[in-house]
A and B are shown apart, each in its own frame.
Chain A
Amino acid sequence: MSLSEANGGLPLLSILILGPLAAAAVAALIRSERLVRWWTLAFTTASAVFSLKLWSGFNPDTAAYQFVERRAWIPSLRIEYCLGIDGLSLLLVLLTTLIAPLCILASWSAIKTRVREFMICLLIMETAMVGVFSALDFVLFFTFWEAMLIPMALLIGVWGGPRRIYASVKFFIYTMAGSIFLLVALVALRLKTGTFYIPDLMGRPYDPAFQCWIFAAFALSFAIKVPMFPLHTWLPAAHVEAPTAGSVLLASVLLKMGTYGFLRFCLPITPYATHVFAPAMLWLSVVAILYGGFAALAQSDLKKLVAYSSVGHMGFATLGIFVLNPKGLEGAILVMLNHGVTTGALFIAVGMIYERLHTRELGAAAGLGKYMPIYAFFLGVFCLSSMAFPGTNSFIGEFLVLCGGFAHSKLLAACTIPGVVVCAAYMLRMLQRVAWGGTKNPDQSGLVDLNLREILTLTPLLVFVFWIGLHPAPFVRVMHASVGHLLEQASRLP
């Protein structure tokens, strides 16, 4: 598994990880705010284009790690700098690199203070996020996992809304508290196996009690990140107060780190414990779907609405993971991707309203459609996508998860149906109010429709909505082998 021929010997993943860090260093030296914006945009776009090499060079027929780089980092502790991706992480890496330039576009005019620092934070975030999805050494993974905390807390705490400091501190403490148990699990596994290399940790005959403890430590930190009910309470606060780019990164990428953790660590490393805890995780997922849906139905703040809908959607992802069958898992990974695309787009859309109206109240945004038809079009598509309308991306993902769910337990899957219905209800309610409103709409005649930059921000996501929705085969194909391998690992019981 050395550097594969396909990438011509270039350490692709290292470039994607260290590139943004170097770009951040350059950005720190640029005096002009305008230039900083352009530089970051140009860099992240180039990085996104460059990351397509991963897509073209990826061999979907194998579950082995690809683009592997392995170097000694701290030999005395046997910690390595080890990167590699497989079908589980490829799409998430690409999602991250593609979302980054959109975040910069979305905050082009919204961020007016300390622009340079903002862009540096975004670039460091990109480093950490790509790093999390491609690290194959546990300490390296943990380093990226934690390194992501600081810039995110800054994004919320410095550029956020009125209660930003509360939200930022809450976000930080929740995530930190969870990840600290990850650290114990990491050390315990290291002492049991003598290695931090993640593939070597998998498929070992740990005794059941040990597995359960490790799983509990893993699950706590990942569940906070996802967030699973009842550990979700940091999410609405963080989302509401974060600036648009922060919300987008949070929804599109950070939440995926939790579900990715389940896939990368819980299932292959602790298969026995996964089977023991799966029923509990499944029912918590169902509760999250229902709770998130009903909570979203009751919101009048647009961002809160989208935030609670995230809780519900991520419930589908965890449901798909813990039914432990191919349909469910493939569905779960697609849900992760789709949620990244759709919810990211919805947060950008809400941000556009906020920039114009300086409020996120649903009532204040009523009847925008008449004066902002292009906006209403985009919002409509993303709303339909979010409620899993056939032909859009979410439909494929949720459909697969439900298939997996029904194959696992009819009762369980049946319980999620109200969640799907509620999702349609709150999304349509929002769309109806924003696009048309009622007879007593506020005067929106002064509003300007989307400009070219805003259209450019949303268009790539629109393309993905329909691409995945109408032709999901290429996306499923890249994960197929890895999912099969993962299930085989997860079925090894002692």
Chain B
Amino acid sequence: MTSPFLLAFLPELVLLAGALVLFTVCLGESRARLARNAAVGVAAAAVLACIVSLGARAELFSGAYQVDAFSQLLKLGFAAGFGAIILLSGDLPDIREMIRPEYFLFVTLSITGLTMLVSCVDAISLVVALELSSFPLYLLVPMRREREGHRTQMEGAIKYIMFGVAANGIMLFGLSYLYGLTGTTHLGPMLALLKPVAGTPLAIAGMAMAFCGLYYKLAVFPFHFWTPDVYQGASNETAGLIASLPKLGAVAVLVRFVSLATPDNTTIAAMLALLAGASMFYGNLVALVQKDLKRMLGFSGIAHSGYAMMGFVALSRAGYAAALYYAVGYVLMILACFVVVCRVSKDGENVKIADLAGLHKRSPLLALTLFTGIFALAGLPPFVGFMGKLGLLTAVIARGHLTLAIVAVINSAIAVYYYLQVVRQAVFGEAGADPTPIRLSVPTRILCAALIACIVAFGCFPEAVVGAIARSLTFVS
């Protein structure tokens, strides 16, 4: 049963059309508001399109592009996340005024890349989609306004692009090995042909290198070096985008890729376990000493990538479902934190943890949002982070990786400390230097409420999400 092309490709078409509209908006001068409204419209249309095409099933472009339950579900997630990012961006206080319309254009393009990414089942289309999602992000980082004596945005941008290109190169190199072994770029046939030789060093080297491009997106140790500087250098809104949706995309593609490795492939499992453990320890230990909120979130993001990697170590369907669920949850949690970063920040400056002092007085809703987001990140029930961790731990222990599970819980305990420092400032602390109340616009309020509701609802009733994800993983043996 295949759906007509138009229906199957509707979300991408809507986003591409939206990008074209935004491009024409960019041609005029200082039409930031118009561009933002257009972007909101595109996001709404994309969400609608995703809902309409949720049931679409098709194979497009000579089998390079798979429209299945898995891809459509994630596309809906990206479209919703896109809407959240646009609401989060608000008036873009920290982007030079002249190029604000372009900012929205690049965000739209990047999201288009992500939506395509999850449908790609061919190594070549996959790399193209990955680049489409990455290049706009490389451009967003240096769009931040220049400050006297501060050019951190440039430093961040250069690190981001250098590491990104290098990681992509390694990925392509690895893919060339896999192509050499199997003679095909289609992941499906590749999986079948790779099975008999999966244990050979060449295949393992090929897979390991092919994963690198995704590790970079996920910011897994040792591909994390860009993270803190980009988070700090990029404007708050950009950092919020980079921290959230691309990670979900990377996890989704990794699911497609890792399923190349057979479940009994201990070498791949050991390698993934090592990276997961190293990411957790590195991220959490360095996050302990951070003063800048975005840097701290960056390092904690490295640790969270490590947690998500646990699902891949299991090399089982339950593990992949758990990793995806965790990634979805992570997007919600980190967006909740970044809403607070963006709104607390004065004039778009970076936010120190100390700047949160007395947030509960300045804006109770923001304090509640931060509180929910941070405790969810810390993995406390009844929030989504807890259910995610429970799923991941179950998956890895079921496959006998008890050591990794214990490493993960030790890390959760370490992480509690720095998360509490944030809560401590925001909820317990007296108002600091700036006690003025923060006024929130209506869209921001809606965004905060929606994020809180989702974090709690996904945590209390994970059945719908976990079930849908597990059912959609039809391509995993």
Contacts and interface: CB of A to CB of B under 8 A. Distances in A.
A183 B390 contact: yes
A335 interface: no
Interface stretch (B151-159, B246-254, B459-467): B459-467
Given A143-B382, A147-B381, A172-B416, A187 B393 contact: yes
B393 A150 contact: no
Interface stretch (A8-16, A72-80, A408-416): A72-80
Interface stretch (A157-165, A262-270, A360-368, A380-388): A157-165
Interface in A107-153: 139, 142-143, 146-147, 149-150
A190 B393 CA distance: 11
A180 B466 CA distance: 23
A76 B424 contact: no
Interface stretch (B216-224, B231-239, B404-412): B404-412
B397 A191 contact: yes
User: Taking chain A's interface residues, is the majority helix, strand, or loop, or is none over half, making it mixed?
Assistant: helix
Contacts of A183: 389-390, 393, 409
Contact of A184 (B382, B405, B428): B405
A112 to B, nearest CB: 16
Interface in A54-85: 73-77
B424 A165 contact: yes
A180 B428 contact: no
Contacts of A154: 427
A73 B463 CA distance: 8
B381 A165 contact: no
B98 interface: no
B462 A184 contact: no
A280 B463 CA distance: 42
A357 interface: no
Interface in A382-437: none
A407 to B, nearest CB: 39
Contact of B409 (A77, A181, A191): A181
Given A76-B463, A77-B390, A180-B412, A169 B382 contact: no
Q: Range of interface residues on chain A?
A: 20 to 34
B418 to A, nearest CB: 11
Given A143-B386, A169-B424, A191 B463 contact: no
A276 interface: no
A173 B417 CA distance: 7
Contacts of B271: none
Contacts of B473: none
Contact of B420 (A139, A143, A147, A173): A173
Contacts of B398: 191
B281 to A, nearest CB: 15
Contacts of A77: 390-391, 394, 462, 466
**Most A CB within 10 A of own CB, among B378, B386, B398, B409:** B409
Contact of B427 (A73, A143, A157, A180): A157
A228 to B, nearest CB: 19
B381 A187 contact: no
A176 interface: yes
B289 to A, nearest CB: 16
Contacts of A180: 409-410, 412-413
B461 to A, nearest CB: 8
Contacts of A190: 394
B202 interface: no
A183 B402 CA distance: 13
A187 B409 CA distance: 12
A22 interface: no
A149 B463 CA distance: 25
B375 interface: yes
Nearest to A75: B463
Interface in B426-477: 427-429, 461-463, 466-467, 470
Nearest to B389: A183
Contacts of B466: 74, 76-77
Nearest to B391: A77
B420 A169 contact: yes
B394 A143 contact: no
B16 interface: no
Contacts of B429: 165
Nearest to B397: A187
Interface string B291-333: 0000000000000000000000000000000000000000000
A188 B428 contact: no
B25 interface: no
B380 interface: yes
Nearest to A176: B416
A132 to B, nearest CB: 12
A6 interface: no
A357 B382 CA distance: 40
Given A77-B394, A143-B382, A150 B375 contact: yes
Interface in A71-107: 73-77
Contacts of B416: 172-173, 176-177
A181 B406 CA distance: 8
Nearest to A192: B397
A247 interface: no
B307 to A, nearest CB: 13
B409 A149 contact: no
A47 interface: no
A173 B375 CA distance: 13
Interface in B363-383: 375, 378, 380-382
A389 to B, nearest CB: 41
A310 interface: no
A473 B35 CA distance: 77
Contacts of B397: 184, 187-188, 191
Nearest to B421: A169
A374 to B, nearest CB: 36
B400 to A, nearest CB: 10
Contacts of B405: 184, 187
Contacts of B378: 176
B424 A157 contact: yes
Interface string A309-335: 000000000000000000000000000
Contacts of A169: 417, 420, 424
A190 B398 CA distance: 9
A177 B413 contact: yes
Given A147-B382, A176-B416, A191 B394 contact: yes
A190 B466 CA distance: 18
A168 interface: yes
B391 A146 contact: no
Interface in A159-215: 164-165, 168-169, 172-173, 176-177, 180-181, 183-184, 187-188, 190-191
B286 to A, nearest CB: 19
A187 B427 contact: no
A158 B428 contact: yes
Contacts of A150: 375, 380
A127 to B, nearest CB: 11
A268 to B, nearest CB: 22
B381 A143 contact: yes
A232 to B, nearest CB: 19
Contact of A187 (B386, B390, B424, B470): B390
**Most A CB within 10 A of own CB, among B398, B410, B424, B467:** B424
Contacts of B389: 183
Interface of B: 375, 378, 380-382, 386-387, 389-391, 393-394, 397-398, 402, 405-406, 409-410, 412-413, 416-417, 420, 424, 427-429, 461-463, 466-467, 470
Return the 5 tightest CB-CB contacts between A and B, nearest first: A143-B381, A180-B409, A157-B428, A177-B413, A187-B393
25 contacts: A74-B461, A74-B466, A76-B463, A139-B390, A142-B381, A143-B381, A143-B386, A146-B386, A147-B380, A147-B382, A150-B375, A150-B380, A165-B424, A165-B428, A168-B424, A172-B420, A173-B416, A173-B417, A173-B420, A176-B380, A176-B416, A177-B416, A180-B412, A187-B405, A191-B397
Given A73-B463, A173-B413, A183-B393, 5 more contacts: A74-B466, A143-B386, A147-B381, A165-B428, A184-B393
